Amino acid sequence: MASNYDSEFCGNLPLHNVNMIQPHGYLVVLEKESLNIIQISENLSDVLETSAAEIVSSSFSDYVPQKQIDELKAKIETGIKDKIPVSLTLNNVELLALVHARQEYFLLELEKVQAEDERTFINVFQEIKYVMAAVDVATSVQDACEIAIRELKRISGFDGIMMYRFDENWNGTVIAEDKTDALEPYLGVTFPASDVPRQARELYLRNPYRLIPNREYTPVRLYPVLNSLTNSFTDLSDCNLRSVAAVHIEYLGNMGVTASMSVRVIHNEQLWGLIACHHTKPYYLSFELCSIFELLSSVVSNKISSIINKEEYGRVADLQSQRNSIIDHIYSDRNIEQGLLEHDENILKLFNSKGAVIFNNSKITTAGEVPQNDMLENLHLWLHAKEIGKVFSTTTLPDIFDEAASEASIASGALIIPLDSHNGNYIVCFRPEVVQTITWGGDPNQTINFAADGKTYHPRNSFKSWLQTVKNTSLPWHKDELGVADTLRSFVYEFKTKQAI
C-alpha cells in the first residue's frame, strides 16, 4: 500500500485555522464583558449596511434590540458553553445564532431565518419521533443503518445518503446507502483513511455535522485578519460555518457532488462512522433541519451502541462459560493438555481456531490442523527467542515469521498464550488464511497527488472500483477473545506452579 497520508500529511493540516467561513451565514466575535464587536465575517456588512471597519469596535447592542441583548446575557450567564441557540434581529433581519463561549470572547454563528422552511413544533416533533421509532425496531447494526439512512433521505431530500463505517485502520466502508441514479453507487466500497483524515475525525467528535450547501462557494474572510484579544487567527474548530479545505472541495467535485453533509455516528465516545449526504445541485438545509440531523445523530449512535454492547455482552458471557468449562476439565483431568484439547469444550472452539499446539515442558501436543513438525519446532525456537511474556495475536503471521508463509493456508493467524516464556512454554492457536478482495473507491495508492513543486496537491480524480486481493491474512482476533486468553493463561500458570510443588 502507499504511504499513510492519513497520519503523515492530511492528519496534520490546520483545518481549524482557515480564517474564512462559508457564505450562507455570518460570524461575529464579541468581547465578553462589554459585548463590543472584535471581529466579523466581511459579509455582515450586507446585513448591517455599513462597512466592516465601522462595525468592528462598535457595540453589539447598537444593532440588536435591548430585550434580545438581555436574553443573550441571561443565557450566557448560565455557564453553558456548548453552542447556545439564540434568536436575534439585526437591522430588522431575523437570524438564528449559535453562541460559543471561549476563554477570551464569545463567538456567534448567525444564519437567516428561512420563513418558507419553518414548520410547527408538532411537525418537527412528529418527524423525530417517527425516525426514533423506526430505528428502535432494528435488531442488528445493519438494520439500524439501513433504516436510518432511508428515513434521513426521506426527511432531508438529499439525492443520496450512505452509512460509512470505519475499520481499525480508519478506512471507511459503505455498509448501507439509499440514492438516486444521479449519484454513483458505493455500497460495499472502501475508502482510504486519508479521505477523512485524523484531524477531520477529531473535529467530528466536537461537531455533530458538517454542511457544505454549495462547493462552488466563494469563501468569506474575517475582518480584521487577527483576533485582537488573542493576536492570532480565531479558532473555528467548533463552527458549522467554517470554510472547507480546497482539497476537499476538489474531492467533492471529482465525485460529482455539489452539496454535502456529513453526520457523525459515535460508539463508546469514539467515531464509529459517518452518515454521508450528497446532492448533485446546491442544497441548503435550514438550521431547523440541521438540528433534526444533530438530534438523530445521537439517536442512531445510541441504537448502534446498544446493539453492539448487547452483542459484546453475549459474546463475553459465552467465552467465559466456555473458559470455565475448560478450567473444570483441567481440574478434573489433572492434565493441562488433556483439559485444553480433548473435550467438546476446548481451546479450538473457544478461540474459533482450526488448530492448536501446546509447548509444555519440552513436549509438543497438537490438535486440529497445524503446520508440519519442522515449522512447529522452529516456531517454538522463535517464540523462545522473543520471550513473549504477554498474550499476543496476529492476523498476518507470515509477515513476522517467514516460515509461516508456506503454511499460510492453515496458519495465517496466531494467538500466542505464554505459560512460562522463560522456559519456552506456550499455547498457540492457529487461524487459516481468508483471502479477501477489497473494493476501493479509486486507487488507494493515488489518494494524494502532488504537483511538480512538491507542495501543491490534489485528491484522486477517479473513484472507479480498484480491486485489491489480500492474502496470508486470517480473521481478526477480537479483544474479548484476548481478554479471555489472558485469564486462561493466569489459571494455567497457577495450575502448573501448584503441580510443580
- Spatial distance between the Cα atoms of 264 and 270, rounded to a whole number of angstroms: 10
- Please tell me the number of Cα atoms within 13 Å of 306 on its side-chain side: 13
Q: Which three cell numbers stand for residue 394?
A: 496476529
Is residue 218, in this structure, part of any structural domain at all? no
Of 428, 433, 394, 427, nearest to 412 (Cα)? 433
Measure the CA angle with vertex 320, ends 319 and 325; round to 5°.
100
Q: What pLDDT is stored for residue 15 in this prediction?
A: 53
Q: Residue 460 corresponds to which cell in the numbers above?
A: 484522486
Phi, psi of 413 (to 5 degrees): -115, 150
* Cβ pair 366, 360 in contact under 8 A: no
What one-letter code names the amino acid at 469?
T
- Say if 305 falls within a structural domain: no
DSSP string, 193-231: GGGS-HHHHHHHTT-SEEEES-TTPPPEEEESSSBTTTT
- CATH code where residue 411 lies: 3.30.450.270
Q: Does residue 71 fall inside a structural domain?
A: no
Decide if 20 contacts 243 (C-beta within 8 A).
Answer: yes
Q: How far, in Å, CA of 203 to CA of 437, rounded?
A: 32
Amino acid at 403: E
At 95, give phi and psi (nearest 5°): -135, 150
Instruction: Please classify residue 200 by burial: count the beta carbons closer than 10 Å to its beta carbon, then call 0-12 exposed, 13-18 middle and 19+ buried.
Output: buried
CA pair distance 489, 351, nearest whole angstrom: 13
Whose grid coordinates read 484531524? 199
CA–CA dist 6, 166 (Å, integer): 13
Distance separating alpha carbons of residues 129 and 296, to the nearest angstrom? 10
Q: What cell numbers appear for 363 in the block?
A: 513436549
383 domain residue, yes or no = yes
Strand partners, 429: 356, 415
Q: Side by side, which strands form the sheet with 465-470?
A: 209-212, 259-267, 270-279, 160-166, 172-179, 190-191, 436-441, 465-470
Count up the domains in the chain and report the number. 1
Round to whole Å and give the CA distance between 353 and 348.
5
317 located within any domain: no
Q: Residues 37, 28: contact at Cβ < 8 Å? A: yes
φ and ψ at 68, to 5 degrees? Answer: -70, -35
Residue 56 placed within a domain: no
Close Cβ partners of 493 (under 8 Å, ≥ 6 residues apart) = 419, 420
Give the pLDDT confidence score for residue 11 in this predicted structure. 45
221 forms beta bridges with: 20
The total of other beta-carbon atoms located within 10 Å of residue 49's CB is 7
Measured CA distances, 283 to 191, 214, 326 (Å): 24, 7, 60
And the C-alpha cell for 259?
A: 452539496
Query: Do 336 and 367 form a contact (C-beta atoms < 8 A)?
Result: no
Question: For the whole model, what pTM was predicted?
Answer: 0.87
CA angle 256, 261, 265 (to 5 degrees): 125
Contacts 24+ apart (CB under 8 A), 111-119: 111/24, 111/25, 111/26, 111/241, 111/287, 112/25, 113/87, 113/287, 114/284, 114/286, 117/286, 117/288, 117/289, 118/286, 118/288, 119/288
Q: Which cell numbers in the block locate residue 119? A: 414548520
33-38 contacts at long range (C-beta below 8 A, 24 or more positions apart):
34/59, 35/59, 35/60, 35/61, 35/69, 35/72, 35/73, 35/106, 36/60, 38/105, 38/227, 38/228, 38/229
**What single letter denotes the amino acid at residue 231?**
N
Residue 381 lies in a domain: yes
Closest to 234 (Cα-Cα) out of 35, 76, 36, 38? 38
- Distance in angstroms (rounded) separating the CA atoms of residues 207 and 96: 18
Phi-psi region of 362 (alpha: psi -120 to 50; beta: other; left: phi over 0): left
Contact 468, 394 (CB under 8 A): no
Residue 65 lies in a domain: no
- To the nearest 10 degrees (0 to 180), the angle between helices 121-136 and 141-156 is 160
Segments of the chain with pLDDT less than 70: 1-17, 115-121, 448-457, 500-501
Domain of residue 431, residue span: 343-435+471-481+488-500
Count how many residues are written for the chain. Answer: 501
